[in-house]
Structure 1
Amino acid sequence: MLSWIGLIGGLALLIWMTVRGIDILIAGPVAAFVVAVTAGLPLLPPLAGLLPGGEAAPDFASSYMAGFASFLADWFFMFLLGAIFGEVMAASGAATSVARAITRRLGSRYALAATVLACAVLTYGGVSVFIVAFAVYGLAVELFREADLPRRFIPGALAFGSVTFTMTSAGSPEIQNLIPMPFLGTNAYAGWQVSIVVAAFMAVLGYAWIARMVRHAVAGGERFVTRATDADFAVDTRLPSPLLAMLPLVGVLGVFLLTQDLGKWALVAALLTGVALACMVGWAQRGQFPAVFSRGATGAVVAITNTCAVVGFGSVAKLSPAFADALAAVQDIPGSPLIGAAVAVTVIAGLTGSASGGQTIALPLIAPHYLHAGADPAELHRTVAIASGALDSLPHNGYVVTTIRAVCGETHASAYAAVGATTVVVPVLGTILALVLFTVF
């Protein structure tokens, strides 16, 4: 019982501190400490002793830092290049050029749709959702500036376009769609018929919801507020042509698709190409490049360490006895195996603050159980993928913290309502729809 109190209390404390604006580098370890103490974990390596096989027993400090450091080692170069790419796109005038072209041809009412679409294209093209936020932010700022929309909705637009109807859909090269494959013997297009319906449902509902929130804010007198750190180009400033300005974004997607055999390192090649092209497009602004690169590097460090802090919490949380009990309990849910699998992955993704983490932890344990119970592998694959993208986006999620704070410079208090509506509520409804469709058809 104590471990249950600690696990739920630690998660609630982490969410509360995050929403209150307490630095995640403090909130993460503090919440993990609560989980560790109530779970009976030794706090330091010298107190842990040895397991029967002679290996060191887990402890709070080592487990937290192992999760923290593993994410840093895996993703640092991608975060660094992604942040620099976003800064160069803004400073070069490329983002401004594209934004003005869109609003000139389509009207300012399409600024929100253009932001969402840019994220969706890059995400479905395989660019990591973390990097998409960096890559599109500069464009989003200019689109929202041209349309005079409140910038606190930029995180919601970025998140909605990245982690809902694209990330977990059939055919998506994002890891959240690929993890189930070796466990279920499926491919990336598993359950594609239902996936198309669910993706369309989430896209329409999510866009209608966030658009309504933006309209309501504008009607209440909210407008775009320029910051000193924004790249600001006067109307008569000579900018790169819109087609030329699009070249860096196209280059990132094109090189990434052509270098898929490099795995995640394809992102490094793609982003290096994008940075080089953005510098060429904005060569007239080359005097700013040293400061721009430095600003990008600083932003990358802040962003990745924020995410690492949440990953570290998840590493400790999964060692709690309550975590194992919760996983066992959901496997006993009566009815369709798909319901139990959806609940299991959703709950674990919420506890760890990670869609991929929820799948990685749950699938080795639940896949054999539900396959033995008669679940169709393709249906199970799609259900698990969609379900993983729901509660993972609670306020403590690493992507959410990074996008709201490090990338967009907003607070949870101002920006999370739109993020939560489109990336928690909408995917939960999408999961329910998928379960209904798989049951009926």
Structure 2
Amino acid sequence: MSVTHAPETDVLRRQDPELAGVVLGERERQASTLQLIAAENFTSPAVLAALGSPLANKYAEGYPGARHHGGCEIVDVAERIAVDRAKALFGAEHANVQAHSGSSAVLAAYAALLRPGDTVLALGLPHGGHLTHGSPANFSGRWFDFVPYGVDAQTGLVDHEQVRSLARAHRPKAIVCGSIAYPRHLDYAFFREVADEAGAFLIADAAHPIGLVAGGAAPSPVPYADIVCATTHKVLRGPRGGMILCGRDLAERVDRAVFPFTQGGAQMHTVAAKAVAFGEASTPAFAAYAHQVVANARALAAALQREGLVVTTGGTDTHLLTADTAPLGVDGRAARGLLAAAGIVLDCCALPHGNARGLRLGAAAVTTQGMGEAEMTRIAALLAGVLREETDARTAREDVRELTRAFPPYPA
């Protein structure tokens, strides 16, 4: 599915040509290169319209009906719409839509359930865990005692026996299931079972798969987790921001953890844009999109394997995949630079069980542009040709431009 025309920048051009040049330059960059970063997507014009609306002017500390500023009666309606749509979309008893980001949502979840020094079990960073899952550079690693679990060296899948063993040994206050680079569905029922056995809370960090959940293309963590943290961009295709889903029993704790504990006033233009995205994600068209994202990611994984890359776990169930470029004679960090010069934009990431770095790719944005499995095969061939030095950057860049001209993110 493609989206339609992007908002005009005429006012910005007249008032601030310098910044208008930046905006137009970024629009051109997005339109003329392949966006394969797993955490990015193209929002709809309706989402962009809400982001650029007068709701950006309103200060709205607190929650609907209980604000610390006057004049919030209109923005209260916007937030209630966002909350009701999120609850209906994900089958949750409670939704907080004020979190500024996925990391903010995770911080609030920890604040609602934990105290500094508590033990938390989470996927280790080298195995695909997020910074908020215990990085020493992040608040999580400084405030809590994180115990990492990992993936099996042979299969690349989460080592369930290790998770159970560590939970029994450490009796964590919370277990976090979620990843930024795990291409398979997580077994939420298993994590619920282990959490119950250990007397722990279960926190699902579903920032990456939540859009697939919305479209019925991935299992939902909502029936199993005490708290689900997520972003509203990525596959969900909304504005950059976060949200939290939970049961009624934790609703007050979660809300107070967001405001006033970790955040001030809500960004009401973003909240409204989230409402727009939730509405779009409740449609049959979005469900078809979500399933096409998975089909495209699987086609891309298979094509990359045919080109000689080693795809982690042998494929993917989701919108993302990770691949080792070493068989082509280049490591992931160098590969990212070579591909960027060719107009193929993606990330490098750590690969489990070693010091090597590979590539992390996502199919959400190119699927929004209307590309299908045939284009994924073409992209894989372009990528491999650059890394094998069979295609120079200039030639590859022109091939990329040809492809993106056929599938513009914002058709006129």
User: Is TM-score (shorter-chain normalized) higher than 0.5?
Assistant: no
TM-score normalised to the size of structure 2? 0.27
Q: When you count strand as a share of all residues, which structure comes out higher?
A: 2
TM-score normalised to the size of structure 1? 0.26
Q: When you count helix as a share of all residues, which structure comes out higher?
A: 1
